[in-house]
């Protein structure tokens, strides 16, 4: 019995640091151009036409972003994973679940999924990670758009819920740690 309480405490602490952030809002509108795309390696290959800005855009990336956008305006809730409230890692879990990709529960562990990429190489659907408290990764966002080199990401902030922010904002820029590509 003592061990189960210990593990519950550890899990709670892990989730506690998963999304401690403040929110900054940026309104973005995606400009769309037709691009021929292919599905990521985790699925069977097939070609499809999707629209988006700067880069080839897979069906899976589109699905992840569409799912994440369904939560815009949803309030922040520590440990939440539903439309009534969710945290940053809960948003990522739900968005990637739309394409059958199971993600870990906390942002620090999500940062170990996929392949690390250079910031200048990020595309829509990639993940961006931040240290907003302490020395570990504690926040995650999904790249929603890259326009003229500016990276916009959707995430759940503690103060404003699910919003789109820019990596050029001083708050986020100073706390950026790494980017990864899961799809």
Q: Which residues have a catalytic role annotated?
A: 88, 139, 155
Interacting residues of 81 by C-beta distance below 8 A, sequence separation 6+:
90, 93, 94
Distance CA 151, CA 144 (A): 8
Distance CA 131, CA 140 (A): 9
Both tokens of 56, joined, read 């080839």
Distance CA 145, CA 55 (A): 10
Contact 47/36 with Cβ under 8 angstroms? Answer: yes
| Residue in 78, 80, 62, 90 with CA at minimum distance from that of residue 155 | 90
Residue 76 DSSP code: B
| Residue in 103, 79, 85 with CA at minimum distance from that of residue 93 | 103
Q: How many CA atoms does the CB half-sphere of 130 hold within 13 Å?
A: 27
């Amino acid at each position: 019995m003592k061990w189960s309480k210990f593990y519950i405490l550890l899990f709670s602490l892990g989730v506690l640091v998963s999304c401690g952030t403040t929110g900054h809002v940026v309104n973005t509108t995606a400009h769309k151009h037709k691009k021929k795309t292919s599905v990521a390696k985790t699925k069977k290959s097939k070609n499809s036409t999707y629209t988006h800005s700067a880069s080839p855009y897979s069906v899976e990336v589109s699905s992840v972003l569409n799912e994440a956008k369904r939560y815009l305006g949803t309030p922040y809730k520590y440990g939440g994973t539903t439309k009534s409230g969710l945290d940053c890692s809960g948003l990522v879990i739900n968005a990637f679940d739309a394409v059958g990709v199971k993600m870990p529960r906390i942002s620090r562990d999500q940062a170990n999924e996929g392949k690390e990429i250079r910031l200048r190489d990020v595309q829509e659907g990639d993940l961006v990670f931040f240290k907003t408290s302490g020395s570990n990764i504690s926040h995650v966002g999904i790249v929603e758009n890259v326009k003229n080199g500016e990276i916009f990401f959707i995430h759940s902030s503690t103060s404003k819920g699910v919003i789109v922010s820019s990596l050029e904002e001083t708050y986020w820029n100073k706390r950026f740690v790494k980017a990864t590509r899961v799809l």
